[in-house]
Structure 1
Amino acid sequence: MTARTPTVPGDAIVIGGGIAGLATAALLSADGWSVRLLEARHELGGRAGTWEADGFRFDTGPSWYLMPEVFDHFFRLLGTTAARELDLVPLDPAYRVYSDPTTGAGPLDVRSGRAEATALFESIEPGAGARLDAYLDSAADAYELATSRFLYDTYETTAGLRDPALVKRMPQLAPLLTRTLATHVEKRFTDPRLRQILEYPAVFLGGSPYGVPSLYHLMSHLDLDDGVLYPRGGFIEIIRAVARLAEAAGTVIETGARVTSITTEDGSATGVELADGRRLTADLVVSGTDLHHTETVLLPRELQSYPEEWWRKRTPSPGALLVLLGVKGELPQLAHHTLLFSRDWRASFDNIFGADGRIPDPASLYVCRPSATDAAVAPPGHENLFVLVPVPADPSLGHGGQEGDGTPSIEAAADRVIAQIAEWCDIPDLAERVVVRRTVAPADFADDLNAWRGNALGLAHTLTQSAVFRPRNASRKVTGLSYVGASTLPGIGLPMCLISAELVVKRLRGDRSPGPVAEPARV
């Protein structure tokens, strides 16, 4: 039975200054709560952080601006708009794809828009254009269903799931829940490149296309139908915008404030203890730090809704090897977003998620070149590269470092990745042109962000870790303790974390509707 939650605004403490914590603080403050946000590190952002060196400014986390209507809705709840708070730039192409050169396939530019996407597919595989058209119709329908029925539901009751309109759609919905994304795609398309374009979004969900349910083919609606945007200045501008709105609404933000425990009395949250010895009291505590850390470190065993034995049966998202590179000269071979897909696709995912996990070589990886769009992120005459390699969620892989001083095996893997980009993308002198280098590895995610098993994203979106099966936004055992972030409802990614914040507010208001909170009449 879920613990009761206070409904009358009072004093609230939010733990964690990532996007979810900041968004929750902003919405609570707007609802009349007196909010103090505590961030352990000296900068805000959490996974969506930033790092600067020698005139380069790197995002250290999310870099795809998808689900724009979720951002728009969140900002309108606070009396503003995404257009007012962010300088959003559409990307064309949405991304570029390179295949293993042994396949003989050249690069593909993937452009958003139904006509562009279907023409590309048809040019590669006769008949695939029409099949993609039907696939994207289904993806759009699944996306509408998710946003109207699943993502904004707190699941305090099963009323939303029992809605006659939803029950009527179960014959079409059930197969999407019981077969994998890979099975769904590979029934429809033959060319490996087309399959990879449609299957890769599973990584955004912290999973493998061989493990996530095919309902998540809805992700292709976002990049192929909807389009991809970029907030000029980098994704840290989203963090700054939400922090600015939180403070404007009355939130007090304190950095360098590490919470060591959540205090309770008679099964109710009473506040927090900090590493500096302070004890702060509150009527409501919202934890936006890693859920595993919250449950197994900040709470005593008897008050844990998700104790250690629960986690042993769960699947984390992959870890990540991040390689941040400042490069001299131009790199026109790379788009703003570039994906490199390995030839042995399934083996690459087996390396990441299998029992004997290892860093894939060659890897399927992602390169962001924000300097293609934004001159402010690199000095004149230079380029900014953010490289993400999905790896096992395993802190024993080691730490990253600056200028090659990380764990030797991590730095060796980064060298291989740089060489792979150089070969596949025809940039033979890439390594010689690097003037700034930093690596980040699973042990850094574990140490810096308390990330369970050093994972990079949160709980993977497997069937048994999605929707009604995902951890709720409130403790079952502690009154006045709420949870927000990537491992709670609804899931991984900046838009989902904004929705997660809204779910906390819906619970406090007693709103059990399956859809978004009503927006103010005028913004």
Structure 2
Amino acid sequence: MERKKAIIVGSGIGGLALGIRLQSLGFETTIFEKLDGPGGRAYVRRAAGFTFDMGPTVITVPHFIEELFALERDRPALDAPDFPASVLAENSRIRSGVSGGPATSRYVKIIPILPFYRIYFEDGAYFDYDGDPEHTREQIRALAPDDLEGYERFHRDARAIFQRGFLELGFTYFRDIPSMLRIAPDLVKLDAVRPLFSFVKRYFKSDKLRQVFSFEPLLIGGNPLAVPAIYAMIHFVEKTWGIHFAMGGTGALVQGFVRKFEELGGTIRYQSEVARIEVTGSGKDRRATAVLLANGSRYPADLVASNGDYVNTYLKLIDRPHRPSHPDVRLKLSRQSMSLLVIYFGFRADGLDLDLRHHNIILGPRYEELLKDIFSRKVLASDFSQYLHIPSITDPSLAPAGHHCAYTLVPVPHNGSGLDWSKITDPFVDTVLGFLDDRGYIPGLRERLVYKSCITPDYFEHTLNSWLGNGFGVEPVLWQSAYFRPHNKCGDISNFYLVGANAQPGGGTPAVMMSAKMTAREVARDFNLSFDSIESLAQPASPRAI
């Protein structure tokens, strides 16, 4: 029997995860990718013997990865427990220092990283964030002993948010307002709707500890001053399953997903930018029937999913008459996450005593005011904070012998700022690298530097087709969360779906894998598929609007 055809726009981690799941559901799936290789934001740059992950570098919740690699053709396992008891037990593989399960190990080697992050403050002090409560207490005792009692309360309340918000509700798809209202009282009771930084301030008097326990949403494009306190659960997500690294870089994980997808029969077409999603019909009978590529080619489909930017997808790929619930003004006024300047650089390591860790957070002299500059005032301040990633500390194969590869990521306003990056990029890059040299993070960096390149918001806007050059999609503020976040299932087009950072539940590597599972469940529901059988794929299906 002929299998139904699914098309996915974009080969980011969310698109690849959905592709694997659709193949396991029995579809014949093709992913169209604009770039010449997979990954989207997780694309890999190779130059001068160095290998640079261009995007995400922090891997958490490895059992999500294991679940994808364990899927089989026509055996979707969508009804399997999202958090089986085995991954919650204290002696489970992934809670005892072993990152990859047996299926994962066939595709990529994943190892734990400690500390999770070394967080540097302006005065030179640092905090090793490793998820170990006793070690955390020791550091708090040395840094701000008056906050020990506050940490105990924070630990207790963050655990409750993690239990309810992640373990119990993490895979909840909010398709209607009642589904959200049912859980709202619980979140209010947990104080999980208050802005995160305000939430953290209730427990800590020390400015340094307030930063330590609130910075993490920046890694998924969220402003700690504005994201809801439900993001306090990140502390427990990391503490429960750790921070991990794919040997060879995140690109090696992406290649593992590509291999798995192709083994299941999927196809990826690179340098194949989708210019339009063809929609026919009207009212509730609208259906996506094909995608049209920039080169004029047309590919028919029984369902289409976009792993691309939410606003760009609706404004540029779908004709206006077919998106009545997504008027131009609403799309353009949606709040977008910050953008990034990322500098990729390689340097000689001979004779260098490098006192850094795999993941380093280097905080500037201001915290709250800098966040306001980036997210609200949208100006490029003279000071900055940065995330410095040096993977060759863990995996020397990523750099030539005697060298290190690194990238440093600086949060900046998206292109709604009007900043002209063609004029300000070079001096700003020099300032950032000079800071690392002059402040002694990488002594002599200017003389040791053998390679550098960078990306700015313009890369996100023009290469990744990201609206206003945002770095992480729709900003995760309260009124763009849960039901109010773009839906994985389009209400206007009966067989069109979203997946990835813009869709529910949100941004971050584990969240986009969760998004893929949620979207696959909506596809199974629409195509009347049981989780144990894909026989109905051979029959005509009439996906219903939700």
User: With structure 1 as the length reference, what TM-score do the two structures score?
Assistant: 0.89
For 2:439 and 2:224, locate their aligned partners in 1 and report how far apart those are by CA, in whole Å: 23
Instruction: Please report the RMSD computed on the Cα atoms of aligned residues, expressed in angstroms.
Output: 2.3
Instruction: Deviation per CA, 1:197-228: give whole Å up to 9, x if none.
Output: 11111212312111111111111123445421
Q: 1: CA distance between counterparts of 2:262 and 2:434?
A: 45
Partner of 2:275: 260
Q: Work out the CA distance in 2 between the residues paired with 1:89 and 1:458.
A: 28
Say whether 1:458 aligns with 2:458. Answer: no
Contact 1:19/1:46 (<8 A) preserved: yes
- Indicate how the Cα distance of structure 1 residues 9 and 60 shifts in structure 2: closer, same or farther if over 3 A, else same: same
The 1:284/1:95 distance shift into structure 2, 3 A limit, reads: same
Structure 1 residues 229, 272: closer, same or farther in 2, change over 3 A? same
Deviates more, 1:418-427 or 1:441-450: 418-427
- Tell me how far 1:332 sits from its aligned partner: 1.6
CA distance in 2, matches of 1:44, 1:359: 31
Worse-superposed segment, 217-226 or 249-258: 217-226
Q: Which residue is equivalent to 1:321?
A: 341
CA shift for structure 1 position 233: 0.6
* Correspondence for 2:52 among 58, 77, 83: 58
Tell me: CA distance 1:254–1:52, structure 2 relative to 1, closer, same or farther (3 Å): same
Task: Say whether residues 1:140 and 2:156 are aligned partners.
Answer: no
Match of 1:404?
Answer: none
**Are 2:15 and 1:21 aligned?**
yes
Of the structure 1 ranges 239-248 and 322-331, higher mean CA displacement relative to structure 2 is found in 322-331
Taking a change above 3 Å as real, the CA distance of residues 500 and 224 of structure 1, as seen in their structure-2 partners, is closer
User: Given residue 346 of structure 1, which amino acid in structure 2 is its aligned partner?
Assistant: E
Counterpart for residue 117 of structure 2: 95
2:298 pairs with one of 254, 279, 289: 279
Q: Secondary structure at the match of 1:444?
A: helix
Separation in 1, partners of 2:188, 2:444 = 55
Query: Could you say if the C-alpha distance between residues 162 and 412 of structure 1 is closer, same or farther in structure 2, counting changes exceeding 3 Å?
Result: closer
CA distance in 2, matches of 1:369, 1:170: 38
Alignment match, 2:404: 383
2:309 is aligned to 290
1:402 aligned partner: none
1:167 offset after TM fit, Å?
7.0
Aligned-residue offset at 1:260: 0.9
What's the CA shift for 1:14? Answer: 1.1
Q: Secondary structure at the match of 1:354?
A: helix
1:333 deviation in Å?
2.2
Counterparts in 2 of 1:408-423, with a 5 A limit? 408-423=423-438
Report 1:180-329 matches (<5 A): 180-224=195-239, 226-266=241-281, 267-304=286-323, 305-329=325-349
> Kindly tell me: are residues 366 and 331 of structure 1, through their superposed partners in 2, closer, same or farther at Cα, counting changes over 3 Å?
farther
Q: Name which of structure 1's ranges 10-19 and 141-150 shifts more when overlaid on structure 2.
A: 141-150
Contact 2:166 2:233 in 1 (8 A): no
* Contact 1:114-1:133 at 8 Å conserved across structures: no
Counterpart of 1:43 in structure 2 is: 37
1:491 maps onto 2:506 in alignment:
yes
- 8 Å CA contact 1:120, 1:129 repeated in 2: no
> How far 1:133 sits from its partner (Å)?
3.1
Aligned to 1:521: none
> What CA distance in whole angstroms lies between the structure 2 residues aligned with 1:326 and 1:340?
19
- Aligned AA for 1:361? S
Q: Find the counterpart in structure 1 of residue 65 from structure 2.
A: 71
Q: What is the aligned residue count?
A: 492
- Show the counterpart of 2:516: 501
Shift of residue 511 of structure 1?
Answer: 8.8
Letter of the 2:21 partner, please give it: L
Distance 2:369 2:197 in 1: 14
Identity %: 27
SS of residue in 1 equivalent to 2:145: coil
Deviations 1:382-417 (A, max 9, x none): 111111000001174355xxxxxxx34111111111
Q: In structure 2, what residue type is equivalent to 1:220? A: H
> Cα distance 1:180–1:331, how it changes in 2: closer, same or farther (>3 A)?
farther
CA distance in 2, matches of 1:73, 1:459: 27
* Structure 2 stretches lacking a partner, 5+ long: 76-101, 533-546
Question: CA separation of 1:176/1:154 partners in 2, compared to 1, >3 Å: closer, same or farther?
Answer: closer
Greater shift after overlay, 150-159 or 409-418? Answer: 150-159
Q: 1:393 aligns with which of 398, 414, 419?
A: 414
For 1:367, which of 369, 388, 408 is the aligned residue?
388
8 Å CA contact 1:149–1:160 kept in 2: the answer is no
CA distance in 2 between partners of 1:144 and 1:69 (Å): 17
* Worse-superposed segment, 294-303 or 390-399: 390-399
Query: How does the TM-score come out when normalised to structure 2?
Result: 0.85
Question: For structure 1, which segment, 332-341 or 108-117, has the greater mean C-alpha deviation from structure 2 after superposition?
Answer: 108-117
1-side partners of 2:522 and 2:410: how far apart? 37
Q: C-alpha deviations, 1:260-303, integer Å up to 9, x for none?
A: 11112212110111122111111111111111111001111121
Whether 1:153 and 2:168 are equivalent positions in the alignment is: no
| 1:337 aligned residue (333, 339, 359) | 359
Q: 1:42 to 1:55 in 2, by over 3 A?
A: same
| Unmatched 5+ stretches in structure 1 | 1-7, 400-406, 519-523
User: Structure 1 residues 196, 45: closer, same or farther in 2, change over 3 A?
Assistant: same
Aligned residues of 2:180 and 2:482 also touching (Cα < 8 A): no
Residues 411 and 439 of structure 1 are in contact (CA less than 8 Å); yes or no, is this contact kept in structure 2?
A: no
| 2:459 corresponding residue in structure 1 | 444
CA distance in 1, matches of 2:177, 2:168: 11
1:360 shift after superposition: 2.9
Q: Residues 155 and 426 from structure 1, CA distance in 2 versus in 1: closer, same or farther, beyond 3 angstroms?
A: closer
1:342-370 residue CA offsets vs partner (Å, 9 max, x unmatched): 12211111110123x22232201100000
With over 3 angstroms needed to count, the CA separation of the structure-2 counterparts of 1:283 and 1:426, relative to structure 1, is: closer
For residue 388 of structure 1, give the secondary structure of its aligned residue in structure 2: strand
2:482 maps to 1:467: yes
